[in-house]
Amino acid sequence: MTATLGRIDIEHVHMEVGEGAGRFEALHDVSLRLEPGEFVCLLGPSGCGKSTLLGALAGHLAPARGTVRVECMAVDGPDPRRGLVFQQHTLFPWLRVIDNVAFGLKMKGVGRASRHARAHALLESVGLAGFEMRWPSQLSGGMQQRVEIARVLINEPHVLLMDEPFGALDALTRSRMQQLLLEVWERFRTTVVFVTHDIDEALFLADRLLVMSARPGRIVEDRRLDFARPREATLVTSHEFVALKRHCLQLLHGGEVDTPLPRMTPLGPPIATS
Amino acid sequence: MSAVLASDLAASAPRPRQGSALRRRAAAWLAQGAAIVAFIALWHAAAATHARLGIVSFENVPTPLAALEAGRDLVDSGKLGRHLGFSLWRVGAGFLSAAALGVTLGLAIGRFHAARRALLPPLELLRPIPAVAWIPLAILMFPSTELSMVFITFVGALFPVLLNTIHGVEGVDRRLVASARSLGAGRWAMFAQVILPAAAPSIATGMAIGMGTCWFCLVSAEMISGQFGIGYYTWESYTLQNYGGIVVGMLVIGLLGMGCSALIRGAARIAMPWARTETAR
């Protein structure tokens, strides 16, 4: 792996979302460098602009000022090398699980047999062997997100962008999915940018924690997390973990915004249908 | 995980029939059959006694038996096949061309602002005009009455297909479109692999409605101009005072319309297997 594969440089990025009079500054002067293979969690209250930043990395939103570069190239639109996972799955309901996973390879013109072989292997690695011929609607929420992750991974992305991917799952499934994600990440070693407002989740997953303040969003803390890997579920009860969690709680509640802001998405302002 | 699999398979397989469920079903069928028999009996009573009920008169309404006789005459005359053939051809040609054009225009209008600006205003202007109102102009515009009748059915089916396609395209979840782009879908692949299948249920609805209006328009067109066709037969029966034939024509039109709609629904089920399983869980 060369030094720049999956590296992200964010320089003085300002972002605005909304139309007309409703337009506002969602991000104010954010500068960051994310190293290759780093697992970064963006933690912040709802509406603080973390999803907006993710949208800029994915190429679905353009910064008002500043530049976003991935592997030294300015982001100018979506790209299969930057995989995006939403909070609610976006599997195509008209494709069977295996064809959903193989979609990226089909777009590259890979033949049916070899793309199915690759998709099958990936489904196996997320624990869904045997579910190839199901329709997405026949799977549970956790399974749908696993298919979603497999579908993104088939493009061998250097960067994995995740927007509260486990936010809609129940606590037990969520904790299993976090373990699974870490296992997958150990194997693929992509740079991960993981957006969440769940402190436990952020601390459990990340190498590096970025805490954001509410509107306009700014990075208020940039901290390395040195908990040993592989991480066990019991980590969340350890003394250091709890101390850090208390610290994060103080950071998040220090802001003067009392009323929760509407959740934004990597595609802009909140979507009415979801 | 194998347990999940097994239960899912059980859910999608036909349920084992229980005695009580079967009996309840039989009772429901019996009640429905009795209602139809009662309706026919009332019809017979009104027609046989030449009842006059205020503004409605059954004086010239044929009895069910007279209708049955007229139906037998139609079959014996050997003309039924030609009447059906002409009507089916007109509906088929009008419907298929309307479906092809409606879906193509609908996809373009729903997806591209330029197409919407250029095409939608004139189409919106034409939309409120009932297809039947086109009949005189259609006769002037086309070289044969045959083509003008096909055109009328085409107009009838076009707008339901077009509007439902536009509606379907506009309703495509933009997160699906964003995901497809992130996964490397280009412009053409987006249309073929994402927009079209996402809008398919809406398009199928438009086609089912369009098929209904097709028959409605065909019968009106055939009554005014034509030598064959089931609508023509119905009107001819009136002018020849073969009143039983009127009812036969009405029933055949109803059956054909129902059959064609069932055909569309069946085709949609085959074309969209994923939509079937949505309620299976």
Q: Output the pLDDT for position A253.
A: 79
Between B83 and A267, whose confidence is greater?
B83
* Cα(A202)–Cα(A46) distance, integer angstroms: 14
Q: Residue A102's closest chain B neighbor by CA?
A: B183
Summarize the confidence of residues B40-62 as an average pLDDT: 90
- Specify the CATH number of the domain A37-62+76-81+159-274: 3.40.50.300
The confidence band for B264, taking pLDDT boundaries of 50, 70 and 90, is very high
Nearest-Cα distance to chain A for B6, in Å, is 12
The rounded average pLDDT for each run of 10 residues, N- to C-terminus, in chain A (274 residues) is 75 86 84 92 87 91 91 89 92 96 95 95 91 93 93 93 92 91 90 93 93 84 89 87 91 66 77 46
Residue B12 pLDDT exceeds 80: no
Residue B5 half-sphere exposure toward CB, CA atoms < 13 A = 9
The first and second tokens of residue A136, run together, are: 């997405």
- Say yes or no: ipTM exceeds 0.90: no
The first and second tokens of residue A272, run together, are: 């009415």
Which of A88, A92, A147 should we substitute to test contact with B (largest number of B Cβ atoms within 10 Å)?
A92
A90 with B2: Cβ contact below 8 A? no
Same domain for B118 and B30: no
Q: Output the pLDDT for position B8.
A: 46
Nearest by CB to residue B175, choosing from A78, A90, A134, is: A90
- Where a domain ends, among B39, B61, B83? B61
Q: Which domain holds residue B37?
A: 2-61
Nearest-Cα distance to chain A for B202, in Å, is 14
Q: Which of residues 164-183 of B touch A (CB under 8 A)?
A: 173-176, 178-183
Pick from A121, A194, A131, A200: nearest CA to A163: A194
- Where a domain ends, among B45, B61, B77? B61
Looking at the complex, does the CB of residue B279 fall below 8 Å from at least one CB of chain A? no
Please write the tens of the pLDDT for every residue from B223-242: 877 688 999 999 999 999 98
Question: What does the DSSP 8-state code read for residue B50?
Answer: T
Looking at the complex, does the CB of residue A107 fall below 8 Å from at least one CB of chain B? yes
Question: Exposed/middle/buried for B175, CB within 10 Å: 0-12, 13-18, 19+?
Answer: buried
What phi, psi does A210 have (nearest 5°)? -115, 120
What phi, psi does A217 have (nearest 5°)? -65, 135
User: B-chain residues within 8 Å CB-CB of A59?
Assistant: 182
The first and second tokens of residue A246, run together, are: 């208390």
The confidence band for B154, taking pLDDT boundaries of 50, 70 and 90, is very high
Nearest by CB to residue B5, choosing from A95, A130, A265, is: A130
Q: Output the pLDDT for position A257.
A: 54
DSSP β-ladder status, B52-53 and B56-57: antiparallel
Q: Output the pLDDT for position A132.
A: 94
Nearest-Cα distance to chain A for B192, in Å, is 12
Beta bridge partners, A17, equal A24
Q: Give whole-number Cα distances, A155 to A112, A150, B187, in Å.
A: 15, 9, 19
Q: Output the pLDDT for position B5.
A: 44
Same domain for B127 and B53: no
Q: Output the pLDDT for position B281.
A: 35
Contact A162, A195 (CB under 8 A): yes
Total Cβ atoms within 10 A of residue A68: 24
Please write the tens of the pLDDT for every residue from B98-109: 999 999 999 999
B2 with A152: Cβ contact below 8 A? no
B183 with A137: Cβ contact below 8 A? no
> Could you tell me the pTM of the whole model?
0.81
User: A-chain residues within 8 Å CB-CB of B178?
Assistant: 58, 60, 78, 84, 90, 266-267
Peptide bond into A157 cis (omega under 30): no
Same domain for B97 and B46: no
Beta bridge partners, B76, equal none
Please write the tens of the pLDDT for every residue from B187-199: 899 999 999 999 9
Question: Exposed/middle/buried for B220, CB within 10 Å: 0-12, 13-18, 19+?
Answer: buried
Nearest by CB to residue B274, choosing from A90, A135, A271, is: A135
* Cα(B124)–Cα(B191) distance, integer angstroms: 24
Same domain for B245 and B176: yes
Same domain for B120 and B20: no
Q: Output the pLDDT for position A102.
A: 96
* Cα(A218)–Cα(A14) distance, integer angstroms: 10
Nearest-Cα distance to chain A for B176, in Å, is 5
User: B-chain residues within 8 Å CB-CB of A142?
Assistant: none
Nearest by CB to residue A94, choosing from B1, B185, B197, is: B197
Looking at the complex, does the CB of residue A108 fall below 8 Å from at least one CB of chain B? yes
Same domain for B148 and B269: yes
Q: Give whole-number Cα distances, B7 to A76, B2, B3, B12, B274, in Å.
A: 47, 9, 6, 9, 19
User: B-chain residues within 8 Å CB-CB of A56?
Assistant: none
Q: Give whole-number Cα distances, A210 to A7, A52, A200, in Å.
A: 16, 15, 14
DSSP β-ladder status, A191-196 and A208-213: unpaired
Number of domains composing chain B: 2
A90 with B194: Cβ contact below 8 A? no
**A94 Ramachandran zone, left/alpha/beta (phi>0; psi -120 to 50):** alpha
Same domain for B75 and B183: yes
User: B-chain residues within 8 Å CB-CB of A274?
Assistant: 175
Peptide bond into A230 cis (omega under 30): yes
Q: Output the pLDDT for position B4.
A: 44
The first and second tokens of residue A205, run together, are: 């997953």
Q: Residue B278's closest chain A neighbor by CA?
A: A137
Q: Output the pLDDT for position A46.
A: 80
Same domain for B122 and B40: no
| DSSP per residue, chain A | --TTTT-EEEEEEEEEESSGGG-EEEEEEEEEEEPTT-EEEEE--TTSSHHHHHHHHHTSS--SEEEEEETTEE--S--TTEEEE-SS----TTS-HHHHHTHHHHHTT--HHHHHHHHHHHHHHTT-TT-TT--GGGS-HHHHHHHHHHHHHTT--SEEEEESTTTTS-HHHHHHHHHHHHHHHHHH--EEEEEES-HHHHHHH-SEEEEEETTTBEEEEEEE----SSPPGGGGGSHHHHHHHHHHHHHHHHSS--SPPPPPBTTBSPPTT-
B281 with A82: Cβ contact below 8 A? no
Q: Output the pLDDT for position A17.
A: 84
B178 with A104: Cβ contact below 8 A? no
Q: Could you tell me the residue ranges of all domains in chain A?
A: 37-62+76-81+159-274, 91-156
Total Cβ atoms within 10 A of residue A126: 23
User: B-chain residues within 8 Å CB-CB of A273?
Assistant: 173
* Cα(B222)–Cα(B145) distance, integer angstroms: 9
B1 with A82: Cβ contact below 8 A? no
The first and second tokens of residue B105, run together, are: 């225009």
For position B99, which CATH number holds? 1.10.3720.10
